[in-house]
Structure 1
Amino acid sequence: MSATDTLREDHRQIRRLGKVVDVCQRRLYAGGDVPLEDIRRITVVIAEFLDAVHYSREENSYFACVAGYGTLQEEIRKFMIEHEFGRRIARSITIHLNRWGQGHDSREPVARFLRTYSIYLADHLSKEDAFFDAASESVLQPEEEREMYEQFRAVVAVSRKMDAMVREIDHLERQPWCSESS
């Protein structure tokens, strides 16, 4: 396995989350119910997995290594901007979700920012997948891929967090609101 393979596996899990987010926002817009606790779980997965683990792997290791070759720098800059955009959307979801939990009518902003996040994820992941193709085929050496992969694996806390986040996605996918049509 390589660093690129690891990031692609992250993307597979993120796409699962993206489907949950999309079902959630569609259900909310259709007037259906989604437990606030499940929406909170979504925000935890976004913060703990996407931001703390996946984006960290990309920003601190993968992008840094690729940028060291002086290539694909414009793409990396755009991804860094998109990551910040995703963080801002996630913060907006959390803000409005907290207001909703306090009794304010924040259903629509929560649904709107979930929808925005779903669209962002789909677009962002497809562009990053193309970037991974270019980086792994023409920039990164196999030994660099292995070294980054070993760095990813060396952080045991991250592996545990990944396992916990996958369980959270599993849990969300099994919820009646997620499996029933709105």
Structure 2
Amino acid sequence: MSKLKSTQDLKHDHITIRRIKDVALTCSKKLYEAKYVPIEDIEIISVVIEEFVDHFHHGKEETAYFPETKVNSEFSEEIRKFLIEHEFGRRIAIMLRRAVNEWKSKIKEVDNNEEQRILLVEPIARFLKAYAIFIDDHTGKEDNFFDSVEEGKIISESEDEWLLKHYESCMNQVGGKIRIEQMIKLINYLETREWMKD
């Protein structure tokens, strides 16, 4: 089976996205256990989800890869489901951001009130867990889809090159290579935080 650079690029993104999933799941678990996680770290998770997963990675899939594979194959129903799942992930990310903002706006008020703090933190833990479950399921299905595209030789070499050029455009729309590198550094930072250790 010949490997398409455009497909492998998306699969490589999935490796990074699964790292985000692991961070989100650990953060959720710690919050449910009433362990301390700095709100700034949760904000970073939210930013990485929105910028790296949704705008950058899903942007590449939605504006280039899926339209290209849909035109050349019988995958339209599978692609439709992926797009619905992307929207589902976006909604979780929006609810997470709202819950974080709510907690942040009331953090001083609830500092000494454990019951109030739990009420503000629980939605964040729930949305982080939901997002982690979504990522685990979604990336697995997409990886299988990518394998099918490669096996069926749905994308030609010239189309593969065009997709890679389009991915560069997607990267520029989210701040360019430097911003993507910053996102990776933020993931590295989160993975080394004290609360990430068992």
TM-score (ref. length: structure 1): 0.94
Identity %: 38
Q: Which amino acid aligns with 2:135?
A: L
2:22 — aligned with what?
19
1:98-127: CA deviations, max 9, x gaps? 111112631001001111001000000000
Shift of 1:70: 4.2
Query: Take 2:151 and 2:164, find their aligned partners in 1: how far apart are those partners?
Result: 16
Q: Which amino acid aligns with 2:149?
A: A
Q: Secondary structure at the match of 1:102?
A: helix
Query: Take 1:17 and 1:46, find their aligned partners in 2: how far apart are those partners?
Result: 8
1:147 — aligned with what?
162
Which ranges in structure 2 are unaligned for 5 or more consecutive residues?
A: 107-115
Query: Take 1:117 and 1:83, find their aligned partners in 2: how far apart are those partners?
Result: 11
Q: Secondary structure at the match of 2:92?
A: helix
Shift of 1:159: 2.2
Query: Take 2:159 and 2:151, find their aligned partners in 1: how far apart are those partners?
Result: 12
Moved over 2 A (4+): 153-161
| Bigger Cα Rg | 2
Q: Secondary structure at the match of 1:31?
A: coil
1:113 — aligned with what?
127
> Which 10-residue stretch deviates more, 20-29 or 137-146?
137-146
Q: Secondary structure at the match of 2:74?
A: coil
Query: Take 1:64 and 1:173, find their aligned partners in 2: how far apart are those partners?
Result: 34
1:102 — aligned with what?
105
TM-score (ref. length: structure 2): 0.86
Report how many aligned residue pairs link the two structures: 180
2:189 — aligned with what?
171
Shift of 1:164: 1.2
- Which of 52, 63, 66 aligns to 2:66? It is 63
